[in-house]
Amino acid sequence: MKKKNRIVSSMVLLMVLLLSCSPKKKELNMDNMENNKALFEAVSKSDIQITAEIITKNPSLELKNNQGRTALMEALYNGNNEAAKLLINSGADVNAQDNMKNSPFLYAGAEGNLEIVKLTLNHGANFKIYNRYGGTALIPAAEKGHLEVVKLLVNYPNFPKDHINNLGWTALLEAVLLSDGGKVHVEIVDALIKGGCDVNIADRNGDTSLDHAKKMRYKEMVKLLEKAGAN
């Protein structure tokens, strides 16, 4: 009886192996490869109709090209929000990083892409994933003058508004240090203060945002920081 059971088990295993190597299985794999390739091509061409059609065929949304980009990341680099929204709503990972350590969430923040920032926040944006400078989405948004993104993130629950990047800077420090002191950046400094950022965090040289604002003669920033208790 035991011998018979062993024979039956061996036959079942053989059948499984044969099925796994069957032409049908290979055909399915080929179909998946073609769909994945077609998805990248459609996204690169900003063809939203074809992109939508391919998604219905269940391609791998997390497959990456030689630059480490998923189809979603490719869509964002191409400025194609419609394809990006379609991919996110279809389950694409908003935290998948490419070879430059950009993720859809981080990149959208750095580019001031408010629509995608909002969508990625609603689809599980991870605040513990950082860009190549060790920074959050808020820091480059503050530096580059993306006021609405700054307002959204600095007031978003549990967002690390005082995170210090690899350069030793917070969003507030960068808003002063790397700006021209103009109207938009004054408003960003104001938004960061109102959002609860610590005005007294110093850089590696011991200089605070107020110190830098004074050195650069950014009078409006100085007023805001002093009013907020900066020293």
Residue range 140-157: mean pLDDT, rounded: 98
pLDDT-derived band at 31, boundaries 50, 70, 90: low
| Total residues found in the chain within this entry | 231
Alpha-carbon span 159 to 226, nearest angstrom: 24
pLDDT-derived band at 179, boundaries 50, 70, 90: very high
Instruction: Indicate the CATH number of 135-231 among 1.10.20.10, 1.10.1270.20, 1.25.40.20, 3.30.70.20.
Output: 1.25.40.20
Residues 6+ apart with CB under 8 A from 90: 55, 61
Residues spanned by CATH 1.25.40.20 within the chain? 21-132, 135-231
pLDDT exceeds cutoff 80 at 6: no
> Is 21-132 a domain of CATH 2.60.40.10?
no
Predicted structure pTM score = 0.85
For tokens 């604002």, what's the residue?
Answer: 213
Residue range 78-87: mean pLDDT, rounded: 97
pLDDT exceeds cutoff 60 at 5: no
- Check if the beta carbon of residue 129 is closer than 8 Å to that of residue 95: yes
Residue range 172-187: mean pLDDT, rounded: 98
